[in-house]
Amino acid sequence: MQRTLLLAKIHNCTLTGANINYVGSISIDRILLEKAGILPYEQVQVVNNANGERFITYAIPAPAHSGVIELNGAAARLGIIGDRLIIMTYGQFTPEELKSYSPTVVIVDENNRLLEVRRYDDLLSKV
């Protein structure tokens, strides 16, 4: 049996743009993607703290160190510049893989600059 758990998240980032005319997805500063371990075109769930919207799309890299977090296509209607977002990926794990599992959490400032990368090594030991 496999279980689906949080793999990584970029926590409390700031929406910097919304482009309704783009084909789709969410653009994310390449450095934040790399630090979180999120791959280009990987499925992500986005939670908008300002309006409660939750949706699924895929990540595309924005220029490194740009601070860009931009909703594209139809998703652009689900937030406005300045909204705070949480971007998450999930993974499926076997019981054996869970023994060494630890989600990655990327913490950013209000300009989407990297502050800290956390690993929740002891998360499952408390369950």
Of 22, 25, 27, 101, the catalytic one is: 25
**How many C-beta atoms lie closer than 10 Å to residue 20's C-beta?**
11
Structure tokens at 54: 């939750």
Q: Decide if 27 is catalytic.
A: no
Distance CA(104)–CA(10), nearest Å, equals 9
Of 22, 41, 58, 120, the catalytic one is: 58
Q: Which residues are catalytic?
A: 25, 58
